[in-house]
């Protein structure tokens, strides 16, 4: 290069594409990805086996009365898969920079931290959505087999997928935030699962028993992914528990679920950006 000439650097957008592409390539080769996809695949195949067995009269399945019932039941585990994928691919996305050598391989390059963050965010989201699409395809295959291709409710299915994308965005944002808070990568992964799945679902159950709507819970919002597929969906129910006692039960509508998810995305993504920009590589 001539003396004093300004060196050529790709635009931040091009660098973002390079970071995201290489990160996706890394993720899909990890044992975490292979393990998760295998597990989700086994569960999906079990559903198909049940459907085939039911079709041949080997088992009686209560959820096979309608395509809506089948898809609703099938989609109920989607939030769990999304949380697991987001934790696996987002829970250590930033802590790895300051904990392991793989971070220092990239951090010394002429790339802005915001570009690294955006690239990793896009790749974690892509891989999480890959798991969603993989699971959804099995569901559509099963519904087609059991009820015929003409029976599929494409509108609600599209809405459900849209909510899945939003839920994945929210879960990845939370996971990234934890990965910026904790220095140990494994801690970020574990805390994401514990908070999003174990803690929120437990506190949600307790709140409902106390008669409070869990509008603050992302896990509650994730229920809307399945709820929009249910033709007989009821947002609020009063359930008798014996002895003249009743408890309230809430289920998130599409609008409510989307609002909660969007709030999580905005809040946790903002936290992540601030924490990551301020984070120093001490040690």
> Contact positions toward another protein, by CB under 8 A?
1, 3, 6-10, 12, 15, 18-19, 22, 25-26, 29-30, 100-102, 104-113, 280-283
- Cβ of residue 180: shortest distance to another protein, in angstroms? 15
- Cβ of residue 124: shortest distance to another protein, in angstroms? 15
- Contact indicator for 153, 52 with CB cutoff of 8 Å: no
Calculate helix-pair angle for 67-75, 113-147, nearest 10 degrees: 150
Q: Which is nearer to another protein, 102 or 202 (CB)?
A: 102
Structure tokens at 82: 């999304």
Q: Which is nearer to another protein, 185 or 222 (CB)?
A: 185
Q: Which is nearer to another protein, 25 or 194 (CB)?
A: 25
- Contact indicator for 161, 136 with CB cutoff of 8 Å: yes
- Cβ of residue 97: shortest distance to another protein, in angstroms? 9
Q: Which is nearer to another protein, 110 or 240 (CB)?
A: 110
Rounding to the nearest 10 degrees, give the CA dihedral for residues 64, 68, 69, 72. 130
E strands, the chain, are: 236-242, 245-250
- Cβ of residue 114: shortest distance to another protein, in angstroms? 10
- Contact indicator for 86, 132 with CB cutoff of 8 Å: no
- Cβ of residue 125: shortest distance to another protein, in angstroms? 19
Q: Which is nearer to another protein, 9 or 270 (CB)?
A: 9
- Contact indicator for 249, 237 with CB cutoff of 8 Å: yes
Q: How far apart are CA 8 and CA 2, in angstroms?
A: 12
């Amino acid at each position: 290069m001539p003396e004093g000439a300004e060196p050529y650097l790709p635009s931040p957008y091009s660098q973002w594409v390079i970071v995201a592409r290489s990160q996706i390539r890394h993720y899909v080769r990890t044992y975490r990805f292979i393990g998760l996809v295998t597990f989700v695949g086994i569960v999906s195949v079990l559903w198909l086996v049940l459907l085939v067995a039911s079709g041949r009269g080997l088992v009686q399945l209560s959820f096979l009365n309608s395509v809506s019932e089948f898809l609703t039941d099938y989609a109920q585990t989607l939030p769990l898969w999304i949380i697991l994928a987001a934790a696996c691919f987002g829970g250590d996305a930033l802590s790895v920079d300051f904990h392991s050598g793989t971070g220092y391989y990239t951090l010394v390059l002429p790339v802005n931290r915001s570009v690294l963050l955006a690239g990793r965010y896009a790749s974690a989201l892509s891989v999480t959505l890959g798991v969603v699409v993989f699971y959804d395809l099995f569901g559509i295959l099963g519904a087609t087999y059991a009820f015929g291709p003409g029976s599929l409710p494409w509108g609600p299915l599209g809405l459900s997928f849209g909510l899945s994308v939003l839920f994945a965005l929210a879960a990845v944002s939370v996971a990234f935030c934890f990965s910026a808070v904790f220095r140990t990568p494994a801690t970020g992964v574990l805390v994401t699962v514990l908070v999003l799945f174990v803690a929120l679902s437990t506190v949600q159950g307790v709140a409902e028993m106390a008669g409070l709507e869990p509008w603050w819970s992302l896990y509650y919002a994730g229920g809307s992914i399945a709820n929009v597929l249910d033709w007989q969906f009821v947002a609020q129910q009063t359930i008798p528990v014996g002895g003249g006692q009743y408890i309230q039960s809430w289920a998130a509508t599409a609008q409510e679920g989307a609002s909660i998810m969007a709030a999580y995305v905005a809040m946790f993504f903002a936290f992540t950006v601030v924490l990551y920009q301020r984070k120093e590589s001490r040690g």
